Every structure is written in C-alpha cells, then in structure tokens.
Amino acid sequence: MGIILLLLLALPFAAGIFYSIGRPRATATARCAAVLQDLGHAVSMYAADYDGRLPPAIGWEAALVRHSGFTRAFVCPAAQPDEPSYFFNPALGRSLIEDYRRPTETVLAADATLGRVNAEGRPAPPRHETGENALFLDGHVKFLPRESPARSSSAPGRP
C-alpha cells in the first residue's frame, strides 16, 4: 500500500519532468516578447500612478524599473551585450495615453533594431532573423516581419 501511495504521489512530478524534457525551449523571439509584455505591465503601473501619463522618453527604462519594482532591466535575450535592447517611441514620452485614437496601431516600444540603418543607409538587419517584436500602446505585443506595414506606423495616432 505504501509503494502504491508513493507512486501516486510521484506520478505528477514525473509527468512534469517528462513534459518539460519533450518541449522545445522558448525561442529568443518568444522570450523577447515576454520581456516586452513585462515592459507593458510596468508602463501600465506607471501610467496608473501618473494620471494616465507615460514615462519620459529619455530615461524611460530607469523610471520604469524604479517605479514598478522590477528588479531587472528590460533586456532582449537576442541583443548583443553592447547594444541597447529596446527603444521607447520618443513621440510618446510624458504624453497622456488617452490622447491617442489608435492605441492598437501605435508602437510604444520595440526592438532597438526597428527603424535603424547601417553605415550605408540601408535598414539594419532585424534582431530576430525576419523581423522585430513591438509593444503597442494598448499593451499587446506583436512580431513585425521585416516588410510589415505596421513598421512605418510608429508615429502617434493623435487627431
């Protein structure tokens, strides 16, 4: 009876181990999207405490880490150690969220390679093979393929 009880107690643990072994690890793109989701939560907390106002465009990361209580900075797992992970849309710094009519189309933050050009004036290669992740003003995160029309709609959606 004791052995059967031990087996019944160990079965969920063993199933969890076998399940995790069989699953592929999350890709850097998926982990990056999760970091951007965290960033979106931090922005929401900041805006809730500042009457709907977004953090400043310059120093946004430090303001969010300090204000939200996140113990780590927002770092893309695919970023090189000497390059910035994300950019914050400078047109949105300290503005009111309610001023934007199209929050589902307005990029709040994204991989720092989005919109960057190389020394020859050509678009820099995307960080995640075929595109970049972007956090939108409404809080959703979306992968933007290199040729996506949303890549050019990072300007504010004000009237």
> pLDDT (tens digit, 0 to 9) for every residue of the chain, 159 residues total?
555 544 444 445 544 444 444 444 569 999 999 999 999 999 999 999 999 999 999 999 999 988 888 767 789 999 988 888 999 999 999 999 999 999 999 999 999 888 787 778 888 888 888 899 999 999 999 999 987 545 444 444 444
Question: What ranges do the domains of the chain cover?
Answer: 27-152
Q: How many CB atoms lie within 10 A of CB 88?
A: 26
pLDDT of residue 82: 81
pLDDT for 19:
44
pLDDT at 14: 46
pTM: predicted TM-score of the whole model, two decimal places: 0.74
Task: Mention every residue, 6+ apart, whose C-beta is less than 8 A from residue 118.
Answer: 124
pLDDT of residue 155: 46
Q: State the DSSP string of 13-54.
A: HHHHHHHHHHSPPPPHHHHHHHHHHHHHHHHHHHHHHTTTBP
In Å, what is the CA distance from 62 to each residue of 56, 113, 114? 10, 20, 21
Q: What angle in degrees, to the nearest 10, is found between the helix axes of 28-49 and 60-68? A: 80
